[in-house]
Amino acid sequence: MCNSRISVRRLVSEVADGAPSYVWRTVNDQIGTGDSRGLKVRCEPGFLRPGKDQPMAVEAGKTPPRVGLLWAPTNCGLLDGDRVTFVPNDQGQTPVQGTFELRVPPDEMIGYSRAHHIEVQIIEVATGVAKGERAMQDTESS
Give me the torsion for CA of 122, 64, 51, 119, rounded to 10°: -10
State the pTM of this model: 0.77
Q: What per-residue confidence (pLDDT) applies to 65?
A: 81
Q: List all residues 6 or more positions away from 113 whose beta carbon is below 8 Å from its beta carbon.
A: none
At 129, the pLDDT band (50, 70, 90 cuts) reads low
The letter for the amino acid at 45 is P
Domain boundaries, the chain: 2-52+64-141
Q: Count of H helices and E strands in the chain?
A: 1, 8
Euclidean distance between CA atoms 100 and 82, whole angstroms = 9
Residues in the chain: 142
Taking only the tens place, the pLDDT of each residue in 20-35 is 888 888 887 777 666 6
Q: Name the average pLDDT for the chain.
A: 80
Euclidean distance between CA atoms 133 and 26, whole angstroms = 11
What is the CATH class of 2-52+64-141? Answer: mainly beta
Cβ atoms 39, 20 nearer than 8 A? no
Cβ atoms 85, 7 nearer than 8 A? yes
Taking only the tens place, the pLDDT of each residue in 54-92 is 777 777 777 778 888 999 888 888 899 999 988 888 888
